[in-house]
Amino acid sequence: MNVNMPDPGQTGTKRKPELLAPAGNVESFWAAVESGADAVYLGLKKFNARATASNFTLDETASLISYARRRSVRIYVTVNSLIAATEIAELLDTLDALASLRPDALIVQDAGVFYLARRHFPGLKLHASTLTAAHNLAGVKALREMGAERVVLARELSLEEIAAIASGTQTELEVFIHGALCYSYSGLCLTSSYRGGRSGLRGECVQPCRLKFRQGKKEGFFLSCNDLCALPLMSALKKLRIAGFKIEGRMKPAQYVTNVVKAYRLMLDADSPDSEKAALIEGRVLLSEAPARHLTSGHFDRKTAPEVLTPHRSGSSGIWAATVKAVHGDRILVELRNAVARGVRLRPESARGKEEEAFTASAVFDEAGRDIGSAPAGSRAWLLCSKRLAPGARLFKVGAKSDVPAGVWKRIAEDGPRPGRVKRNPGGMRRILEDLGVALPGGSKQPERLIVKVGSASDLVPALQSSAALVLLSGTRGNLERIARQRFSNFQMRKLGISLPPLLSEDKDAEYYAAAVKWFVGKGFRLWECNNWAHFELLRGGEDLRMIAGARLNLRNPAALLESMELGCKMSVLSLEVTRDELVSLSGQWAQSVAVSVYSWPPLFVSRLIPDLAEGRPILTPRDDAYLLKREAGLACIYADRPVSWLEQLSFLRDLGYRNFVADLSEGPEKRQPTLNGLLAGFGSERSPIPGSTFNFDRRIV
């Protein structure tokens, strides 16, 4: 695929890096613009990865775009959630409306948005979200081929890796410089969806990594990351070819946005060592007044990256201000560690370690009940509280009364001419939906195929001798080097494929895998499973390849499946998060061209941060949900205590017309996995060989 986009590196001009600020509400938008942001990113009420922020309607977005343009501030709209199969019509309506508003770009994750925007809305510029897990140069190149003018890099990269990627491409790159960090690689975390039925890939993360865990007698916030602060590193970052520096925080209040934007504006505008030194001092003062978790350099510095995890600290953001001692109606008696005043924003953390939604203390009373407006550290006071809290809960100060003027919407409306109206073309959208239907792959009814995935080359011989139609081997270095010395018959070669790992680091893996893939293709290996967009770049140019889009590409709608076909995939494995309703929606002709995973044990967290926990022993949440840690190739993979199994649903899936099924033994705790024969027997009897979870099968679409 080639979208014939101009190469930004050919212009001969160097644009100053822009500072991007978040806006989850209109007050934060105003704060960002007034504090010096070059661009603001914001989300609509749906299809964005911060679904719990206030967000904006299309008409509100039109007003904000108009206001920002008059100030030469760019607006990026996030359409960066995964799109369910049942949402394509609504997505098309949204893209149609956005095309009439002409934001400066859309930030996108789902392959279907790439497909639809490129084909039907070419005027919409696309930025690939960090949720695409772009962590190496090959991934950046692949996403550009899909239509991305800019790629937001994964937050797990070091300065050296970013520099290597930047030196190898002219595609615009964007990096996060401040704000919250996820424990798992963005785009690969399934925990919130698995445990809570709310997908982080669809903007509804319940932050399971922020909980207090225990293993034996050890307790702590083992997976809760401190916040990122790149302020001291801006001098080095400015020397790299980065198009945008991004501040995280669409859930943050306006005052936070004000302080953080001002701090980084100072550093970006400093043009000498002396001015940078002065800017750093002033910027640190501003950040000290923007409540956050403990600030670290994140993954930028490999030596200090372990400091991102400090299990003894609370997982809650902000400054620990108070502890709840008693509750009486809508008032709570608190013991204060830090002063509070009317209008302060407080985030509760339950005694069990669960972080809850923040509230505003609209009044402060002394113990006698007199309205005092504020109370000093060390005292006790009653706060007016809109939330139900229990004694023992801790309150963290995350903001104060904003200095953003009242009536912001009115000021924006009075600022200039009325914005253009949102226009829609319902007839055109119907034709696109019809085209999607016409584009469905046809063909006569095919026989059923079982695809077995194994994690070790030692399991290949029995798998190849089994009834499985295809056998995929996990493409670890050890496995590749072992099968490179083996000989396979023509029959085995038609059956055998390599499943590429979702993560191939730029500093340690990229060169090795580029050479390995080329070598194996040259030796006649034609079947490959792609689990990251980078894999399509590694396989580019190979002839007669049979590529499978793996479950880690998170394909769950017709447009996304068509995008995988354009990339050359003969088959696509549906996202592990799909539901029964989506399977029904995709049944019919699609049922024969996709594969459904009926047994797997996927890691719920995949991280470069290795917690101080033992492998194989249960890691428990306050609710006694159990996890298991496994260290693999320098990564921490954390699994549920049971696999995902839909073997009991095989009859239902067959009745819908599905004919391709995946049984995956390549991941999970080895000592707990069933044998290959046990799994094959379970497939035949439609019963899981060990107790499993049905994941999202019977849930609402998440």
pTM attached to this predicted model: 0.91
Q: Which phi and psi angles does 454 have, rounded to 5°? A: -125, 155
Buried b (16+ CB within 10 A) or exposed e, 414-445: eeeeebeeeebeeeebeebeeebeeeeeeeee
Name the token pair of 372. 């005092």
The residue behind tokens 């019963």 is 687
- Answer whether residue 7 shows pLDDT above 80: no
- Tens of pLDDT, residue by residue over 654-685, are 999 999 999 999 999 878 899 999 999 999 99
With helix as H, strand as E and coil as C, how does 120-148 read? HCCCCCEEECHHHCCCCHHHHHHHHHHCE
Q: Does position 69 have pLDDT exceeding 70, yes or no?
A: yes
User: For the segment 474-508, what is each residue's pLDDT rounded down to a tens digit?
Assistant: 999 999 999 999 999 999 999 999 999 999 999 99
Report the distance separating Cα 364 and Cα 382, nearest Å. 6
Provide the 3-class DSSP secondary structure of residue 25: coil
Half-sphere exposure of 422 (CA within 13 A, CB side): 17
Confidence of residue 318 (pLDDT cuts 50, 70, 90): confident
Exposed/middle/buried for residue 258 (C-beta within 10 Å: 0-12, 13-18, 19+): buried
Confidence of residue 702 (pLDDT cuts 50, 70, 90): low
Alpha-carbon dihedral sign for residues 627, 51, 405, 180: positive
Q: In the beta sheet, which residues pair with residue 220?
A: 213
Give yes or no for residue 5 having a pLDDT over 60.
Answer: no
Q: What is the pLDDT of residue 416?
A: 81
CA atoms within 13 A on the CB side of 182: 29
pLDDT tens across 93-107, in order? 999 999 999 999 999
Instruction: List pLDDT tens digits, range 466-482.
Output: 999 999 999 999 999 99
Residue 10's pLDDT is what? 37
pLDDT at position 441 is: 60
Average pLDDT over residues 259-272: 97
- As a whole number, the mean pLDDT across the chain is 92
Q: What is the pLDDT of residue 13?
A: 44
Q: What is the Cα–Cα distance from 270 to 278, expressed in whole angstroms?
A: 9
CA distance 637 to 629: 6
User: Are the C-beta atoms of 364 and 341 separated by less than 8 Å?
Assistant: yes
List C-alpha distances in Å: 213 to 208, 314, 611, 623: 10, 11, 11, 10
Question: Which residues have C-beta within 8 Å of that of residue 203, sequence separation ≥ 6?
Answer: 43, 48, 49, 50, 51, 52, 80, 81
Give me the pLDDT at residue 2, please: 47
Q: Give the torsion sign (CA, 436, 438, 441, 444).
A: positive
Confidence of residue 402 (pLDDT cuts 50, 70, 90): low
> In angstroms, rounded to a whole number, what is the distance separating the alpha carbons of residues 375 and 383?
10
Neighbours of 76 (CB within 10 A): 21
For the segment 36-65, the average pLDDT, to the nearest whole number, is: 90
| Residues counted in the chain | 702
Residue 453: name the closest of 595, 577, 580 by CA. Answer: 595
**Is the pLDDT assigned to residue 11 strictly greater than 50?**
no
Radius of gyration of the chain (CA): 26
Of 35-49, 418-432, 559-573, 630-644, give the lowest mean pLDDT range: 418-432
CB 187 within 8 A of CB 128: no
Average pLDDT rounded to a whole number, residues 62-73: 96
pLDDT of residue 85: 93
In the predicted structure, residue 4 carries a pLDDT above the cut 50? no
Report residue 453 as tokens: 């995935």
The yes-or-no verdict on residue 204 having pLDDT over 70 is yes
The residue ranking higher by pLDDT, 54 or 275, is: 275
pLDDT digits (tens, 9 = 90+) for 111-168: 999 999 999 999 999 999 999 999 999 999 999 999 999 999 999 999 999 999 999 9
Range with the poorest average pLDDT among 336-345, 351-360, 515-524: 351-360
- At 38, the pLDDT band (50, 70, 90 cuts) reads very high
Instruction: Flag whether pLDDT at 172 surpasses 60.
Output: yes
| DSSP class per residue in 265-281 | HHHHH--SHHHHHHHHH
Q: Where are the alpha helices (DSSP H) in 270-389?
A: 273-288
523 burial class (0-12, 13-18, 19+ CB within 10 angstroms)?
exposed
Strand partners, 601: none
Q: Which candidate, 529, 620, 695, places its Cα nearest to that of 191? A: 695
Does 6 score more than 60 pLDDT? no
pLDDT at position 119, please?
A: 93
How far is it, in rounded angstroms, from Cα 104 to Cα 98? 10
Q: Which residue has the higher pLDDT, 638 or 354?
A: 638
Q: Which domains, ranges and CATH numbers included, belong to the chain?
A: 16-181+226-290 (3.20.20.70), 188-225+603-642 (no CATH), 319-399 (2.40.30.10), 447-601+644-685 (3.20.20.70)
Residue 273, amino acid: P
Question: Which tens digit of pLDDT belongs to each residue from 550-586?
Answer: 999 999 999 999 999 999 999 999 999 999 999 999 9
- Residue 37, classed as helix, strand or coil, is coil
Q: Is 104 exposed, middle or buried (0-12, 13-18, 19+ CB in 10 A)?
A: middle
- Render the burial of 147-171: b for 16+ CB within 10 Å, e for the rest: bbbbbbbbbbbbbebbbbbbeebeb
Give me the pLDDT at residue 8, please.
Answer: 42
